[in-house]
Amino acid sequence: CSRSGIYIDNGFDQTAIERTMTRDEKREMELEILSLLGLPKRPRTISKNPLKRSAPRFLLDIYKTLMDADNEDDQRAKRSVDVYLSGEEQNQIDESDIIMTFESANDHVPNVRHERGKRLWFNASDVPVAEDVVGAELRIYKGNGKDMKNVDAVYTITVYQLIKTDEGDKELEYISATNVTAGFTGWISLNLTRCLATWVAFPNLNKGLYLSVHPVSRPGHEVRPEDIGVVTVKAEDEQQPFMVAFLRAANNIKPR
Amino acid sequence: VTRETRTKKDTFNSVMTGYSKVKNERQDLRRSCRIETLYINFKDLSWTDWIIAPDGYPAFYCAGECNFPLNAHMNATNHAIVQTLVHLMNPLRFPKPCCAPTRLNPISVLYYLDDHNVILKKYKKMVVKSCGCH
């Protein structure tokens, strides 16, 4: 019955409690709860249908997985989530207190020395400096490519970090790589832990990533990611690339 | 006559005492240490546009007194008995055992940081699963 959002079972009539709570008191209690949850103020307005996008959907799947794990009565067989998690990812989820996702923005990095690869940039400024980085990964979707003559052909997807040298030039620093066949469809994850740790400690060094694809048989021959179906930019909402960060909360609780 | 009156009075007192006893027992039962409901509904607070999950926070809380005998209460620790005895010896100086959570579960909250970034935060020991005397 209450519109305050707070329901207590203390033997008193709920409506009587509502009458005694003024608007200011309700607001104060809301702020207390927000503060307790580490949310001192609400974020900006959120766009419509945000759950269609890949990053929120990924985290919602992890949330449901966690709920299943917490609720021992509901066995995992009941899970409606279709999220594939590797053993390493499962460990990272177990170890972390905070999991954040970041959608890519492509328009941030100026002229970069590249030919056919794609640039990706993630705004990691919201990551609290005090938190420990357990891990981070880039998740990109690979669909069917244009040239599907040989589905068994193997390609290497490499991710580089853009760095600025002492001379002011932009260079590529190898971060991680993985091999996929041309016929593979699904999500690919690449380890970005080292990148994120740098970006959190030194936000100004975040110049983004460079994604490069080449056939295993011809290392010097770079192809466009979209040629083998790798989705980078101008993607459907549910196939947008994103970065996941696994963080462990520091034990310095602020006095209130 | 005097004797009869006294008997009637005693009977009346006895009945009243019994009534009070039942009433007190009910009060004690109601006031004894137990888990109580506290639920914060995010929808009613208009938070669901930025908190994706869960729908609310089922916090619960522990309330009530830990009176002797402690075995009437849920999950009393052995030391709560010692604390009760100390309290009985000097009630003004030493407090009773406390009614407090004996088991706490975590809660996870999934919310938007802004239009692009989403965060899943785990909060340890946030939901009371059981209460007891400590």
pLDDT value of residue A94: 79
Contact A46 B109 (CB under 8 A): no
Write the residue in A7, A44, A60 that is nearest to B110 by C-beta.
A60
Per the CB < 8 A criterion, the answer to whether B62 and B129 are in contact is no
How many angstroms separate the CA of residue B7 from the nearest CA in chain A?
Answer: 39
pLDDT, one tens digit per residue, over A151-171 is 888 999 999 998 877 777 778
pLDDT value of residue B16: 45
**pLDDT-based confidence at B1, cuts 50/70/90?**
very low
Res B107 pLDDT > 70: yes
How many angstroms separate the CA of residue A101 from the nearest CA in chain B?
Answer: 5
- Using the Cβ of B62 and the Cβ atoms of chain A, whether some distance falls under 8 Å is answered with no
Residue % of chain B over a pLDDT of 70: 75
pLDDT value of residue A85: 65
At A168, list the tokens. Answer: 């002011």
Contact B42 A62 (CB under 8 A): no
pLDDT value of residue A192: 93
pLDDT value of residue A92: 80
Angle, alpha carbons B89-B95-B101 (nearest 5°) = 130
Low-confidence residues of chain A: pLDDT under 70: 1-3, 10-20, 40-50, 70-86, 106-115, 147-148, 234, 251-256
Q: Is the confidence metric ipTM above 0.90 for this complex?
A: no
Partners of B119 on chain A (C-beta within 8 Å) are 59, 98-101, 126
Partners of A105 on chain B (C-beta within 8 Å) are 116
Write the residue in A7, A11, A50 that is nearest to B39 by C-beta.
A7
Contact A46 B30 (CB under 8 A): no
pLDDT value of residue A32: 85
pLDDT value of residue A110: 56
Per the CB < 8 A criterion, the answer to whether B36 and B60 are in contact is yes
d(CA A93, CA A67): 13
How many angstroms separate the CA of residue B53 from the nearest CA in chain A?
Answer: 8
pLDDT mean across residues, chain B: 79
H helices within chain B, ranges in order? 2-31, 78-89
Contact B53 A63 (CB under 8 A): yes
Answer with the residue of higher pLDDT: B21 or A158. Answer: A158
pLDDT, one tens digit per residue, over B67-80 is 877 766 567 888 99
pLDDT value of residue B44: 86
Mean pLDDT, residues B44-60:
87
At A41, list the tokens. Answer: 């103020």
- Smallest CA-to-CA distance from A38 within B49, B123, B33 is with B123
* Separation of CA A149 from chain center: 33
pLDDT value of residue B15: 45
Partners of B50 on chain A (C-beta within 8 Å) are 42-43, 46
H/E element, A201: helix A193-201
How many angstroms separate the CA of residue A131 from the nearest CA in chain B?
Answer: 12
Res B27 pLDDT > 70: no
- Chain B interface, mutation test: which of A66, A68, A96, A199, most B Cβ atoms within 10 Å? A66
How many angstroms separate the CA of residue A6 from the nearest CA in chain B?
Answer: 4
